[in-house]
Amino acid sequence: MIYERKTPLFTKRYEVEQRESQFYAKLQCPWCETKVDVPIELPKFEAWIRKELLIQEAMPGLSADLRETFLSGNCATCWRAMFNEGPK
Ligand SMILES: [Zn+2]
């Protein structure tokens, strides 16, 4: 299943896959192509896609790094490098 979520800056596509009873959002960093599967609760994810829930409400268990990856698509490593927040 493919979901699209529009923001003022860009539209992000999410591929969602079900394995057994768990749904995963399949993310791939556009810079280094690192793949990350993030376990999601589908109803909450869909509510977030519709902007009815904040990301923190839809995915309360997500680490800050994964949340950023989820929102921007960039993995933590590339994201830090872009914003110069990595090890100096
Ligand atoms: Zn990356």
- Whole-number Å distance, alpha carbon 13 to ligand 1 midpoint, is 17
| pLDDT category of residue 73 using cuts at 50, 70 and 90 | confident
User: Is 55 a residue whose pLDDT tops 90?
Assistant: yes
- Whole-number Å distance, alpha carbon 31 to ligand 1 midpoint, is 5
**What is the mean predicted confidence (pLDDT) over 54-83?**
89
Long-range contacts of 68-72 (CB under 8 A, 24+ apart): 69/27, 69/29, 69/36, 69/38, 70/25, 70/27, 70/38, 71/12
Give the predicted TM-score (pTM) of the model. 0.82
